[in-house]
Amino acid sequence: MTALKNDRFLRALLKQPVDVTPVWMMRQAGRYLPEYRATRARAGDFMSLCKNPELACEVTLQPLERYPLDAAILFSDILTIPDAMGLGLHFETGEGPRFRKALRSAADIEALPVPDAERDLGYVMDAVRTIRRELNGRVPLIGFSGSPWTLATYMVEGGSSKDFRRSKAMLYDEPQAMHLLLDKLARSVTDYLNAQIRAGAQAVQIFDTWGGSLSSVAYLEFSLAYMQRIVDGLIREQDGRRVPVILFTKNGGLWLESMAASGADALGLDWTCDIGDARRRVGERVALQGNMDPSVLYAQPATIRAEVARILASYGPGPGHVFNLGHGITPEVDPAHAGAFIEAVHELSAAYHQG
């Protein structure tokens, strides 16, 4: 494998010294970039783009052509696993993801197959291999998956939901059925992330987008416990390097101590946490990733720079910080504002890494 020219992202995740704080953005390959919109139009639709390794590689690399980012993230979707389980994923304009089949009973869950990542999601692994080849060591490649609980909500609801009423009704009324679903998903995600690592992903992130919708007791039992099982089952060294694992629970600030005990290398923070407070709470156990409110990117560059400065000061000196947004960049952001953000992180963070 080609040697990495810029490994500060991987070093920061392992709390090793870096020259400046590394930065990447969740959804950095996306609709805010006109070149992404053009490639998606060529592909025809979102899933056709995901399933074409060359086009998935093209959009993964687009933000790196614009900005001095410290990592690339695989272009894909968190719902590829449920799709491979036969639920029929499709995207409706203005409505987001939908499944042609939703899980409504324990019998539906019992009938659900556990996919083989190499066979049933081979297009994702082809994309990972293609991206690694084209990156040629510029920056590391991040692989990812949705968390079991997050995937389960889409599968039970049949798509996006504001209140998760079917998922939570199953969780409380039929906990055995929900545990069976989460068990199948934990096995699937472990296999899927390990396949990405074997194909060339150099770090992986688990997106627990909807874990923060749960009560504290339910989060620990139905979300974190299954992410813990995934972390325990992951390949942690490949090509002679540690493969860091990042856990990101949106609205998960209540549970940072429990998440830090999971064995993950880093925790992603949304913008509702103060990163300095989070650092004090987790100590030296994990690195932290985050956590600027994506909406700050609607503000003027001077305002963006001031918010970057505030977050860097809150974290303080020393390694263990990967700068990111607290959630994905939104489609209406001016690409020049994203550039101002990335430039500010690199320029202003150098002072925190001297000595």
* DSSP per residue, 37-72: HHHHHHHSSHHHHHT-HHHHHHHHHHHHHHS--S-E
Work out the mean pLDDT of the chain and round it to a whole number.
96
Asked whether 227 and 247 are in contact (CB, 8 A), the reply is yes
Asked whether 327 and 271 are in contact (CB, 8 A), the reply is yes
* C-alpha span between 108 and 113 (Å, rounded): 10
314-318, Cβ contacts within 8 angstroms, sequence gap of 24 or more: 314/274, 314/275, 314/276, 315/275, 315/276, 315/279, 315/288, 315/352, 316/276, 316/279, 316/352, 317/352, 317/353, 318/352, 318/353
Q: Which CATH number fits domain 34-288: 3.40.50.2000, 3.20.20.210, 3.40.50.10420, 2.60.120.10?
A: 3.20.20.210
**Residue 29 labeled ligand binder:** yes
pLDDT of 89 > 70? The answer is: yes
At 3, the pLDDT band (50, 70, 90 cuts) reads: confident
Find residue 321's DSSP bridge partners: 288
pLDDT on residue 293: 98
Token pair recorded at residue 193: 């992330």
Q: Which residues are catalytic?
A: 27, 31, 40, 77, 154
Segment 26-55 shows an average pLDDT of 95
- Other Cβ atoms less than 10 A from the Cβ of 143: the count is 26
Segment 57-72 shows an average pLDDT of 98
Q: What is the pLDDT of residues 9-26, one digit of tens each?
A: 999 999 999 999 999 999
pLDDT of 91 > 90? The answer is: no
Look at 82-96, 168-182, 279-293 and tell me which has the smallest mean pLDDT. Answer: 82-96
Inter-CA distances, 163 with 167, 224, 236, Å: 9, 20, 36
Look at 86-100, 231-245, 273-287 and tell me which has the smallest mean pLDDT. Answer: 86-100
pLDDT of 95 > 80? The answer is: no
pLDDT of 1 > 70? The answer is: no
- Other Cβ atoms less than 10 A from the Cβ of 163: the count is 9
Segment 45-53 shows an average pLDDT of 94
Q: What is the pLDDT of residues 116-160, one digit of tens each?
A: 999 999 999 999 999 999 999 999 999 999 999 999 999 999 999
Inter-CA distances, 214 with 24, 171, 250, 326, Å: 28, 10, 11, 19
**Residue 27 labeled ligand binder:** yes
Q: What is the pLDDT of residues 304-345, one digit of tens each?
A: 999 999 999 999 999 999 999 999 999 999 999 999 999 999
**Residue 232 labeled ligand binder:** no
**Residue 327 labeled ligand binder:** yes
pLDDT on residue 92: 74
* C-alpha span between 118 and 84 (Å, rounded): 11
* C-alpha span between 41 and 181 (Å, rounded): 35
- Kindly report whether the global pTM for this prediction surpasses the value 0.85: yes
Asked whether 91 and 47 are in contact (CB, 8 A), the reply is yes
Token pair recorded at residue 96: 């987001």
Asked whether 315 and 351 are in contact (CB, 8 A), the reply is no
Asked whether 44 and 18 are in contact (CB, 8 A), the reply is no
pLDDT of 2 > 80? The answer is: no
**Residue 16 labeled ligand binder:** no
Domain ranges in the chain are: 34-288
Assign residue 243 a region (left: φ > 0; alpha: ψ between -120 and 50; beta: otherwise).
beta
In this structure, the chain runs to a length of 355
**Residue 62 labeled ligand binder:** no
Eight-state DSSP code of residue 81: H
pLDDT on residue 6: 97
* C-alpha span between 69 and 89 (Å, rounded): 31
% of residues, the chain, pLDDT over 90: 96
**Residue 238 labeled ligand binder:** no
Segment 200-207 shows an average pLDDT of 98
